[in-house]
Structure 1
């Protein structure tokens, strides 16, 4: 149910202005596409964007300022999926009913509460542990090496030539709230690595979308014998229908390859490869990591997991140069 507030009203008015100043952007700085999809590849896939202005959402489902995310049931809405957030950093404000709408302390407390109820969340935040709102009780903090820059919103119209975004950026981190997390409390990943992984996914999505579009258009070419010359192709009215790009994204990203595994997972996989040195390949390692991670979540004993991995590798064709 949408709510009204001074915050939401001011945002609607801002988006309709004919020109903007950088200082007006406030909470609406946009996460770069490649950075988001890189985070999605490592910690997703994400099903919902929790804090958006309606135009900058990265997921098919999202909350807007009118929805007031802090009044929503994230756990129920995610329904087992994962949520992403680039949260607002503005000073605390409330909606017309007195509910908090912004304020990082409140947002982080909300994340902990939802996590305890089963929600799985990833927050892209400033990497500044000295902040009073710093999520000490997050299950994992991944510090991003290299400063993180953000994009101006699509609706931003510069009032003059001075309204250009700075490329300086700031230190960033990814806070994971997930009570099933089995890795260590802290890790590090370079910004360029995230962006590179994100670009790979974007390229895959673009290729899939182009293929879908070409197939769709080709499939709607018909011959109209009553008015067209014999063999004259025409495009049927269906071609104007919206091509389901979200479907293509879902196919590519339903189970993206994870490149960050808990130490416990990697240790068991390496033990298996040590016993079967001529079987190691990148694909097999990824497969075993997925299997081990699931077995640990199912509370299977480590000795039984190792036995299962050894049995799997014993059936694999050997790679002579793997040892």
Structure 2
């Protein structure tokens, strides 16, 4: 349901201006695509973008300022999926019904409440634990090494040559709200690692789109030749010769970021693969990390865990024989 608010009204007016100043962008700085997709690879996949201006959403489903995310039932709308948010940092404001629309303390409290009801959420936030809104009750905080820069919105029209985004950026972190989280409370990952993983996914999505378009065009020409323009080249799908894009995307999404797991987990998994190095692949690595983490939470000794892992690997075929 659309809500009335000065915040939403001001945003609509801002987007339609003929020229803009950097100071006007406010809450509407965009998460870079490769950074979002990197976070998606590590902590997703995401089903919904919780705070958007309607033009900068990263997911097919999203809330806008007119929806006022803070009045919505995230848990019900996610329905078991995961939500992403690059939240607004502006001063607290309310809609015309008196409901909060912004304010980081309110947003973090809302995230905790939804988490307790079963929602799984990932917030890209400023890495400043000294802030009063800092999510002490998040299930996991992943600090991003390297400063994070954000993009100007697509609708931004610079009023003059001075209206160029600074590349300085600021410290960032990813706050995870998920009561089923079984990793450690804190981890670290480099910004460039996230961007590299995101670039992989973006390349695959682009390839998948090209493949689908080529297949569609070829099918149209073959089944409805009357629609083809004279002299138009026929694009052969060559499906059998192409990489299975969907399978590759699933594989990348399955890749763990080592920084998500406690160092004790990673050391045990590494020792197991050192015993049988020809059994290593990324998916097995993730499975073993999950196994180790669960056994450690159950207070199983490290020696018993390592024996368990080696026994599991002994049943696997060496890489190159069967995956």
TM-score greater than 0.5 by the shorter chain: yes
Name the counterpart of 2:31: 31
- Choose which of 246, 249, 252 in structure 2 pairs with 1:252: 249
Could you tell me how far apart the structure 1 residues matched to 2:295 and 2:77 are? Answer: 27
Could you tell me how far apart the structure 1 residues matched to 2:295 and 2:67 are? Answer: 37
Name the counterpart of 1:208: 208
Name the counterpart of 2:242: none
Structure 1 position 62, deviation (Å): 0.4
Contact 2:220/2:227 (CA < 8 Å) preserved in 1? Answer: no
Structure 1 position 266, deviation (Å): 3.4
Could you tell me how far apart the structure 2 residues matched to 1:224 and 1:64 are? Answer: 41
Name the counterpart of 1:85: 85
Q: C-alpha root-mean-square deviation of aligned residues, in Å?
A: 3.1
Structure 1 position 300, deviation (Å): 7.9
Name the counterpart of 1:167: 167
Contact 2:150/2:169 (CA < 8 Å) preserved in 1? Answer: yes
Could you tell me how far apart the structure 2 residues matched to 1:271 and 1:52 are? Answer: 45
Could you tell me how far apart the structure 2 residues matched to 1:115 and 1:65 are? Answer: 22
Name the counterpart of 1:286: 285
Name the counterpart of 1:182: 182
TM-score by length of 2: 0.84
The 5-angstrom pairing of residues 21-100 of structure 1 reads 21-100=21-100
Could you tell me how far apart the structure 2 residues matched to 1:74 and 1:250 are? Answer: 30
Structure 1 position 102, deviation (Å): 0.1
Change (3 A) 1:14 1:249: farther
Q: Match of 1:113, SS? A: helix
Contact 1:4/1:95 (CA < 8 Å) preserved in 2? Answer: yes
Could you tell me how far apart the structure 2 residues matched to 1:67 and 1:87 are? Answer: 14
Name the counterpart of 1:156: 156
- Structure 2: segments with no counterpart, 5+ residues: 234-244
Structure 1 position 162, deviation (Å): 1.0
Q: Match of 1:89, SS? A: coil
- Structure 1: segments with no counterpart, 5+ residues: 236-247
Could you tell me how far apart the structure 2 residues matched to 1:286 and 1:249 are? Answer: 21
Could you tell me how far apart the structure 2 residues matched to 1:257 and 1:97 are? Answer: 45
Would you say 1:191 and 2:191 are equivalent positions?
yes
1:129-187: CA deviations, max 9, x gaps? 11111111111111111111000000111111111111111111111111111122111
Could you tell me how far apart the structure 2 residues matched to 1:118 and 1:271 are? Answer: 35
TM-score by length of 1: 0.84
Contact 1:127/1:172 (CA < 8 Å) preserved in 2? Answer: yes
Structure 1 position 76, deviation (Å): 0.8
Would you say 1:103 and 2:136 are equivalent positions?
no
Across the two proteins, how many residue pairs are aligned to each other? 304
Q: Match of 1:66, SS? A: coil
Q: Match of 1:18, SS? A: coil
Contact 1:268/1:292 (CA < 8 Å) preserved in 2? Answer: no
Change (3 A) 1:225 1:292: closer
Structure 1 position 283, deviation (Å): 3.2
